[in-house]
Structure 1
Amino acid sequence: MTQSSEKAPEVHDVPDEMIELDRKLTERARRRSPRPRWWRRPWMIPLVILVAVFLTYIWGPYIGLDPSTATVHLVRSIPLHYVLVVTHILTATIAMVTACLQVWPLIRRRYPAVHRISGRFFVFAGAVPTSIVAIVLMRIRNTRDGGIQVGSAGLYITAALWLVITLVGYRMGRQRRWAEHRRWMTYSFALSLTNIYSRPIGIYVSSFPGANMNLYFELIGWLPFIVHLTVAQWWLDRTSGLPWVNRRVKRAAPSRS
């Protein structure tokens, strides 16, 4: 068998393309508005603070690995229930921390190796196991409580969407389809933050006498993934149209020869 003389693309070529993409997006934003608007100001610091506060709050009852302090009503007939809960929190922590690294422009530009490695952690140690364990835990909860509970349908859809979208985004990256990779992983990042405010809001709502908690649980199951994906799409629409749109137009144009 003869080998093709064409050299296969190498992995170290990938960061250069991503850096060039970031550079063009930055230049485009500067051309649009010489003075930065409030939504273009640095947002990484508030994001990191928000994630840190949330993780500190979530880990509080579980840092000692004592089942008696769990905030979840454990099913004693399922010995692994507590292990699954802790696993879910651990993998979700990895997902949220690495998600912050993934969307940090400075890291993508100056430390592409960190971006690649943290991306693999985000997919295989974060998003994928978190979504799978979430589905298992919801199944245990519904069985424990005697049927599908209020809001479960939305939570099932959120977990399934996060799993599928993350794997598709990873696949796009493996195929060097960077525009599609950026789009799908933006959706995945948006879904990784869907639970960041549900529990604090739930505690606040439950403090009101006569609060309709069934309505709250239904809304918190459906609204987060809808709102987050809508915002992600808005962001993509604002920042897209540079290299990949031009390429699509060229591919779609009929040949004049």
Structure 2
Amino acid sequence: MSTVVRPAVQRSPVRWWRRPWVGPLALVAVLFLVYSLPPYLTGDPALSRVQVPSGGVVHYPLLVGHVLFGAVAMLTCCFQVWPAFRARSPRAHRLIGRVYVVAGVLPASVLAVPVALFAPFGPVAAVSNVLLGLLWFGCTVAGWRAARQRRFRQHRRWMVRSFVLTMSIVTNRLWGPVWTVVLAPQLPTTFGGDEAFFGATVAGLTTWTGWVLPLLACQWWLDRRTPAAAR
């Protein structure tokens, strides 16, 4: 009895115009880094975009390392989520993926924990940033292990989560002005005119909404694309 060999199905490459978000995403990442990165290349804590606590001898070097490794993660992840690039250059996708993991997310997420603990933004923001760093690390390692085990469906899902957490630094900066405007009328009443209390509250809300909401939206999108039987 002869065996019927089915011809391999050739999938047409995904054209760039079918993913119109790729270009704007890369542009946002580049503009964000052009604005945020240069002060940390000077070695001067006074130029830091993030407030450095007094006597921050330990905090500032950790912050610089976190920013630099995070910049590598942001730039490389733009290539990793580009469908046409993955389809046409699988070898480059694997190489850049290793850079994203080893020289980007892993050191940046590890440094995020002490940076959060030393930061002068209060305990609510500290807990949020520590949890973000741990989830960022965990999602990325899970995605890397899935790829090593050739479980590519799970690899893509974990790496989408990792990508969302990588880019949450951008949404974090967007939520800051929103919470400032919303809570500013309550400064003389709820906060008793205490600007330090007001700033810590804004920072706490900003850090949580900056990554929790995008991650929830990401999970909804992943579940929506997964057949019910697979779920």
Is 2:71 aligned against 1:93? yes
Is 2:157 aligned against 1:199? no
Determine which of 139, 149, 171 is the counterpart of 2:117. Answer: 139
How far 1:192 sits from its partner (Å)?
0.7
C-alpha distance in structure 2 between counterparts of 1:187 and 1:116, whole Å: 18
Q: Is the 8 A contact 1:135 1:159 kept in 2?
A: yes
Determine which of 169, 179, 182 is the counterpart of 2:143. Answer: 169
Partner of 1:76: 55
TM-score normalized by structure 2?
A: 0.77
- The one-letter amino acid of 1:126's match is G
How far 1:100 sits from its partner (Å)?
0.6
How far 1:68 sits from its partner (Å)?
3.0
Q: Is the 8 A contact 2:175 2:210 kept in 1?
A: no
How far 1:110 sits from its partner (Å)?
0.3
Q: Is the 8 A contact 1:94 1:125 kept in 2?
A: yes
How far 1:185 sits from its partner (Å)?
0.8
How far 1:213 sits from its partner (Å)?
3.5
Partner of 1:221: 207
Q: Which moved more, 1:210-219 or 1:104-113?
A: 210-219
Q: Is the 8 A contact 1:155 1:221 kept in 2?
A: yes
How far 1:167 sits from its partner (Å)?
0.5
Is 2:26 aligned against 1:48? yes
Change (3 A) 1:200 1:225: closer
C-alpha distance in structure 1 between counterparts of 2:206 and 2:46, whole Å: 27
Is 2:223 aligned against 1:237? yes
Partner of 1:62: 40
Q: Which is greater in Rg?
A: 1
Q: Which moved more, 1:188-197 or 1:202-211?
A: 202-211
- The one-letter amino acid of 1:157's match is L
CA RMSD of the aligned region, Å? 3.1
Instruction: Point out where structure 1 has 5 or more consecutive residues left out of the alignment.
Output: 1-18, 27-35, 250-257
Partner of 1:115: 93
Deviation readout 1:45-65 (Å, 9 max, x if unpaired): 110111111111211322333
C-alpha distance in structure 1 between counterparts of 2:114 and 2:215, whole Å: 24
Q: Is the 8 A contact 1:25 1:239 kept in 2?
A: no
C-alpha distance in structure 2 between counterparts of 1:43 and 1:96, whole Å: 15
C-alpha distance in structure 2 between counterparts of 1:62 and 1:201, whole Å: 23
C-alpha distance in structure 1 between counterparts of 2:47 and 2:224, whole Å: 45
- The one-letter amino acid of 2:55's match is R
Instruction: Provide the secondary structure at the position in 2 that maps to 1:195.
Output: helix
How far 1:210 sits from its partner (Å)?
5.1
Is 2:170 aligned against 1:184? no
C-alpha distance in structure 1 between counterparts of 2:218 and 2:25, whole Å: 15
Instruction: Provide the secondary structure at the position in 1 that maps to 2:168.
Output: coil
